[in-house]
Amino acid sequence: MSVLTGALGSLAPKLLKLLYGEYKLQKDVRKQVQWLHSELESIHTLLRRVANEPWDRLDEQVKVWAREVREASYDLEDVLDTFLVRVDGGEPADPSRLRRAMKNMGKVFTKAKARHDIAGAIDDIKKHLHEVAERRQKYKLDEMIMSKSITSASTIDPRLTAMYKEVSQLIGVDKSGDELISMLNLSQPDDDAPDKKTMKKVSIVGVGGLGKTTLAKAVYDKLKSQYDCGAFVSVGRDHDLVKVFKDILFDLDKIRYDNIHNTGRGVDLLIREVREFLENKRYFIVIDDVWEVRTWDTIKLALVEKNRGSKVITTTRKFNVAEEAGEVYKLKPLSFDDSTKLFYTRIFGADKKYLDNQPNDVSDKILKKCAGIPLAIITMTSLLAGKPECEWSMVYNSIGFHTTDNREAEDTMTILSFSYYDLPPHLRTCLLYLSTYPEDYLIRKDSLIRKWIAEGFIDGKQGTRLFELGERYFNDLINRSLIQPVENEWNGRVESCRVHDMVLDLMRKLSSDENFIAILGDNVEGTPAPSCVRRLANQNRIAEHINSETMVTGMPKVRSYTAFECFIDSRDQFLRFKLLRVLDIVYCRFEKGCHLEHLGDLLHLRYLRIRFHGSSLELPIQLGNLKLLQTLDVGGTLPASIVHLTELVRLCAEEKVPDGIGKLVSLEELSIEYVAKRFFKELASLRELRVLEFYLSDGADESMQRDFVESLSNMQKLQRLDVVDSSWDADTTMWEAAGFVLPRPLHYLSLPVIQFSKLPLCINPTRLPNLAHLDLSVTTMDEQDLELLARLPALCYLRLLTYSTATVSNINAGDGCFFQKLRYFETSATVQFEQPNEEDTSVSLHMWNGEDAMPFASRKGYDSRKAVPSGVMPNLEVLDFVVCLRALKGNYSDYCGNIGLEYLPSLRELRWKIISRGMPATETDAAFGALRDACNVHPNHPTFRMQHIY
């Protein structure tokens, strides 16, 4: 499935199934199916060639033909799928023999009618394809496509203007320019420094419009006079390497190579000529706008690496190219102050002080939309220029970057479109799908990938899990700077993404042009007629009423419907889209409640999510009819029939899951609440699970725990395990005797409700090298246990509840292995960090139970300001612990002032739970003051939060 080829890629196997399956098609229908198969194979071959060309420069006749074929492919797939689900789709087993017999009799008539219906539908599609084929022949499209004469001439790159601006006109370049110069090792005061003699390569990476070319040109103009020669050459998406090398030679010496572009030299000779010219020279070269690693690999062959201090800067939108081209400089968006300055300078002119024009709410909204992207700010100011400020709000609310004929807005879309058209067809499709989401929406990675799969955008090879392939697609879009990754705050894993407003506007425009996604209320020019809409998004977040009756009856071909936080005035409007593959209702409100009696009629559904504001859903037993369902994410009571959904890969629910969950052997994600006793035994069948989250309200007896441990041993692909809101007393010895072993891929483990008697042996660096998040409750721990946790190589988040009364670890800071990645540490114990003396390079981490404190470990009088060791937890940002003042036996003030915060160089927040039962308020205040003072003298001045427990 792709934007250009539609459903062509999925039709061949379905047509073959129709031909060779036991469907008893009439002879003339079989001939038509064979003709369709041959015709569509021929068309698909041509369209794949077209898909690899820049769509923005395709011949218009080719575009018209491609669109007609694409729409016909969707229609044919709808016909085939409808036939197959009617004939192949069974129903849950019925205990009544009579009723079952009657249903079987009914199926005979159903299949006969289905064969009659598909015969007529195929005949109609064949006639339509004949008409399309005649036009294809009339305009000789085959010859045009095969000869690659299907594209028009390239347009002038609008980014050229950035290369010829005076530095004095640029805003926000000074700071980034200084950082770039520093990376080039040009900030060294000594010209004879070794770093200044070695060749240095730096690559600037960032999204289109961020100002990479502008920055590179500013630094080049500032420094080029210090070198024997220099060149500034742009490569571009549709580059010609012969021209690139000729441009380099011409820039290096315009007199010597004034006629170089008229010569017929090839790449090999040009590389040799560049190398000979640079052999004994100190040069500064900028290679702007590199799109592919292989392009850079060829260009760098010409760059002579001598000990003369030459410098090379590259710019690119792709992170993998930047990594190959040199040390990476990730260009940041403009600060708010610089964004404001650029905004007002562009509107009122450089000769006026922008500070005289006080920012207002509208300008703040505009700058937020632009998110520090200079190109976006310039575009918005061009739309506002000449308009009084009282009209800015109207302009902001009524337009996007793509909804105007403004030249700079058009240039913005052109610049961004370079990145889009550089994508392979499958990634173009996945990116366009993001136009489903509203502005600034936090898009969950897992949910997005599941929707891609349900839509058929991910074509997995044998042996490759579709979700893993989807993750590659997601990461590739990040690598190309087209989506903005959003990391988990503590473990650094990318779990979500956002789309910049400029990119989103472009996606909406392209989606509308290609009839890919229609957005309710969107007034994009060229929006397809309702009868042609295939994917529909309702982003009505202002809770306006929609004429749902008209919407539904006028859109018979909708296969994807998504509604975000909107008001739905008809209780079953989405249940009338009989071809739906994806139904995603995200926290909407219903005028008369959400009634789902006909949900079981949506036999094509692959993805179903219904989360809304209001009372719990009552899901019908007919849900079991949805044999193709892959994702089920609902906030309601699940019927017993869900155990018949054998294709289910993801199941998320807030109510009790019925018995029989073990039949769903394809499950990869299971997130449920209120599990029953039988659940733990059935888990043993779910060998494909990679995510397991559940809630158990009444705890677990020994037999349930044993079943759970035995089931875990079968889940060798598990990556996330989260057990919440219950309380188990786990005998660690019994668990280990039952075979408690955690799978190696595990990266998230949260078992705070399970009280282990001691640290399980399987939690160690060898067994769990990927563990980044750990939430654990252990009654007693010793020094060896703490060292095992400290050596977990990927651990970023640790919440450790322990009742140990004496846990001390002396840690050698020099070995670099102790909590090196930890960013968040919460413990129920009292902690202290200490360096024994000036000569000793070790740091001690003391932990003791708050109620029974160990004797206070005092300082040895060493002044830490002289030489602070790198020590334990070098990346720790948040420390959360407990102190019982009474247990400190009068040393509370001394302890609070000497906790050892100076050994935590990255600390930015200290959370302190103080137990002061029976202590005078004056002593509590003194302890608080001492700890506050310790925070104040820390270089980062971490914030201090105290929770008082009386």
What is the CB neighbour count within 10 angstroms for residue 293?
Answer: 16
Mean pLDDT along residues 164-187 = 73
Could you tell me if 222 and 177 are in contact, meaning their C-beta atoms sit under 8 angstroms apart? Answer: yes
For the chain, give me the number of helices (H) and strands (E)? 28, 32
Nearest to 750 by CA among 775, 720, 719, 729: 775
Contact 129, 72 (CB under 8 A): yes
Q: CB neighbours of 330 closer than 8 A, spacing ≥ 6?
A: 205, 206
Tokens 């742009």 locate to 234
- Closest to 326 in 3D by CA, of 369, 366, 296: 296
Highest mean pLDDT among 138-152, 371-385, 387-401, 678-692: 678-692
Q: Indicate the pTM of the whole model.
A: 0.83
Q: Do 202 and 313 meet the contact criterion of CB atoms below 8 Å apart?
A: yes
Cα separation of 494 and 179, whole Å?
A: 27
What pLDDT sits at residue 836?
Answer: 63
What distance in Å separates the CA atoms of residue 703 and residue 719, rounded to the nearest whole number? 25
The region, left, alpha or beta by phi > 0 then psi within -120 to 50, assigned to residue 456 is: left
Residue 535 has pLDDT above 50, yes or no: yes
- Would you say 87 and 117 are in contact if contact means Cβ atoms under 8 Å apart? no
Say which residues have a Cβ less than 8 Å from residue 268's Cβ, sequence separation at least 6: none
From start to end of 681-747, where are the E strands? Answer: 691-695, 720-724, 728-730
Alpha helices by DSSP H, listed for 667-753, are 679-682, 702-712, 732-737
Burial (CB < 10 A; 0-12, 13-18, 19+), residue 607, is buried
The string of pLDDT tens digits covering residues 905-950 is 899 999 988 887 777 778 788 888 888 888 888 999 999 888 877 6
State the alpha helices, DSSP H only, in 615-742: 679-682, 702-712, 732-737
Model confidence over 480-533: pLDDT tens digits?
888 999 988 888 789 999 998 888 888 988 888 888 998 876 554 455 677 788
Q: Rounded CA gap, 719 and 734, in Å?
A: 24
DSSP H or E segment with residue 653:
strand 650-653
pLDDT in tens, 80-136: 888 888 887 644 434 444 344 434 434 444 566 777 778 888 888 888 888 888 888
How far apart CA 176 and CA 570 sit, in angstroms, is 54
Distance CA 538, CA 522 (A): 10
Q: What is the pLDDT of residue 861?
A: 39
Q: For the segment 141-158, what is each residue's pLDDT rounded down to a tens digit?
A: 877 777 766 665 555 555
**Residue 330 pLDDT more than 70?**
yes
Mean of all residue pLDDT scores within the chain: 81
Question: Which element (helix H / strand E) includes 173?
Answer: helix 173-183
Confidence of residue 683 (pLDDT cuts 50, 70, 90): very high
Exposure on the CB side of residue 395, measured as CA atoms within 13 A: 21
For 19-50, the pLDDT digits (tens) are 887 777 888 888 888 988 888 888 888 888 88
Task: Tell me the angle at which helices 407-421 and 501-513 cross, rounded to the nearest 10 degrees.
Answer: 80
Cα gap 672→694, rounded to integer Å? 5
pLDDT confidence of residue 889: 65
Q: How confident is the model at residue 352 (pLDDT cuts 50, 70, 90)?
A: very low
Q: Is the pLDDT of residue 824 over 70?
A: yes
CA–CA separation, 790 and 811 (whole Å): 9
Exposed / middle / buried, residue 895 (Cβ in 10 Å: 0-12, 13-18, 19+): buried
> What mean pLDDT comes out for the span 892-915?
84
422 close to 237: Cβ distance less than 8 angstroms: yes
359-391 in b/e form (b: 16+ CB < 10 A) is: eeebbeebbebbbbbbbbbbbbbbbbeeeeeee
Q: Which among 401, 405, 404, 434 has a CA at the least distance from the CA of 415?
A: 401
Sequence-separated contacts (24+) of 456-461 with Cβ below 8 Å? 456/1, 456/7, 456/10, 456/581, 457/1, 457/2, 457/426, 457/429, 457/430, 457/433, 458/426, 459/1, 459/9, 459/426
- Cα dihedral sign, 881-885-886-892: positive
